[in-house]
Structure 1
Amino acid sequence: MPTWNPAKLSSSLLLNIRNHPIIFTSAIAIIPLAALAMPSYRGFIDLGPGGLPHNVFGWLLQGALRPLALNSTVDQSAFQKPGVSASYEPHGTTRFLQEPLAQRRGDRPVIPNYVAPQRQATDKGDKDLIDRMNGHLRDLASRRSEALAVKASGLEARDNPALWLLGSPLPKYLAKSTKGEIVHVHTEASSHMILSLTDAKEAMAKGWAEFHPLSGVMGWIPLPYVMVYAPRDEEEFGVWTKFVDAAIAFTTAGQH
């Protein structure tokens, strides 16, 4: 039976280091990198399923998208860029919110710094609220079955319902990006929806919403594709329904 010989083990280890310095250096470098990356990966997993794979590959992919993402999701200067409204005409600059929009109370919720999925970490809603929000989308679709339908989201996890615009042709800003998906609710009661430029700007200015990190980036997602924060009470649920109405009015405005 081999005996424990620390001196021999040390000599063998040093010999291997001399013979394979690159491998040894790389292994040493990986240790602190892994320690730094682990909290980010765990945070990604804690957000729950989204449109990207809910595993290390999804985490790596969202990280790879970071250089393309917006520096700030609350900076409204993108609305002022020359020609930005051209892709959303003739209704992009129309206000579809039917009532004056009040300033949202308090601070914005905390949004973890991931490209996707975009979720809020504070002021989250419960399952009853989420069911109510999705029920509202189904009610709207049943009332306008010629124009709207609720089916599985193409942007979120497969079991996540979404409100879709039916009919053909779709507006160009939808056909090239979401393929007709206009509203979906997340598992913490925030939601994504497509508003007119005017409504999206007002919603952001008054603290109700913010851009998706990829809003307006390379045509993947429309610029006025915004995250609306989870309703915190009955009054805010009512505001959320007005945003949904405005999203529907905008995206169906060109249909006859």
Structure 2
Amino acid sequence: MTMQALPQREGDRPDTGPAVPHVQFTQTSPKAVREQLRQWMSTEFPDTVTGPSEISDPGAFAVFLDGHAPAKGAVLLPPRLTAEFAHVHVDGSLHLALSPEDQKKLLARGWGEPHPLYSAEINVVMLYAPRTVEELDVARTVLEASYRYATGHDRVAV
């Protein structure tokens, strides 16, 4: 699946916090789905490292560029804006950096919302927590788009 083929999200929008910390209160991920997502994030992206988020609540698991600068024009997550491109919260929702085109697709198809602090300088959108194994594939697709935005190239199987 590509961001171009992203399906429309089924069901109502989940309840999320209107301010920081920006979290999801309803329709959270089952523990097994969250664990599969974290494991996948740990192994799928070349030239990255994983660990605690530099910006999110305790327990958030992030992916960082390892030893190289982001692609020209890419604005990643604060505070550095140069390393962390995605993190998953304990509720299963994610914050990530995406290109403007991919942000539009994500929002138009009902998979997420802008972060309350979103601006030209704070390029953060929320991807709603995957509720099923099928929605886990959507999360993987969106994370691959975030990686592509951060690095300027596609993921290569490792």
The one of 42, 65, 69 aligned to 1:138: 42
* 2-structure distance, mates of 1:208, 1:175: 19
Q: Label 1:159 to 1:237 Cα distance change in 2 as closer, same or farther (>3 A).
A: closer
1:161 corresponds to = 61
2:49 corresponds to = 149
What secondary structure is seen at the aligned counterpart in 2 of 1:163?
strand
* 1-structure distance, mates of 2:33, 2:118: 26
State the structure with bigger RCO (CA 8 A, min sep 6), 1 or 2. Answer: 2
2:129 corresponds to = 230
Offset from partner CA, 1:93-129 (integer Å, 9 cap, x none)? xxx935511111111101132x211111111113222
* 2-structure distance, mates of 1:234, 1:128: 9
Residue 240 of structure 1 deviates from its aligned partner by 0.8
- Contact conserved, 2:33 with 2:132, CA < 8 A, in 1? no
1:125 corresponds to = 29
- Contact conserved, 1:124 with 1:230, CA < 8 A, in 2? yes
Offset from partner CA, 1:225-254 (integer Å, 9 cap, x none)? 210001111211111111111111111107
- Contact conserved, 1:97 with 1:199, CA < 8 A, in 2? no
Residue 149 of structure 1 deviates from its aligned partner by 1.0
- Contact conserved, 1:163 with 1:183, CA < 8 A, in 2? yes
The one of 245, 249, 252 aligned to 2:144: 245
- Contact conserved, 1:192 with 1:228, CA < 8 A, in 2? yes
> Could you say what the CA RMSD is over the residues aligned between the two structures, in angstroms?
2.3
Offset from partner CA, 1:172-198 (integer Å, 9 cap, x none)? 523875331011111111111111110
Equivalent positions of 1:60-209 (< 5 A) are 97=2, 99-113=4-18, 115-141=19-45, 144=46, 147-171=47-71, 173-174=75-76, 177-209=80-112
In our comparison, the structure showing a higher alpha carbon Rg is 1
Q: Percent identity?
A: 30
Q: Give the TM-score taking structure 2 as reference length.
A: 0.84
Aligned pairs, number: 151
- Contact conserved, 1:149 with 1:163, CA < 8 A, in 2? yes
What secondary structure is seen at the aligned counterpart in 1 of 2:85?
strand
Letter in structure 1 aligned against 2:57:
A
Structure 2: runs of 5+ lacking an equivalent = none
Letter in structure 1 aligned against 2:76:
L
* 1-structure distance, mates of 2:111, 2:96: 12
- Contact conserved, 1:195 with 1:247, CA < 8 A, in 2? yes
* 2-structure distance, mates of 1:122, 1:161: 20
More helix by share: 1
Letter in structure 1 aligned against 2:60:
N
Letter in structure 1 aligned against 2:145:
A
What secondary structure is seen at the aligned counterpart in 2 of 1:167?
coil
Structure 1: runs of 5+ lacking an equivalent = 1-95
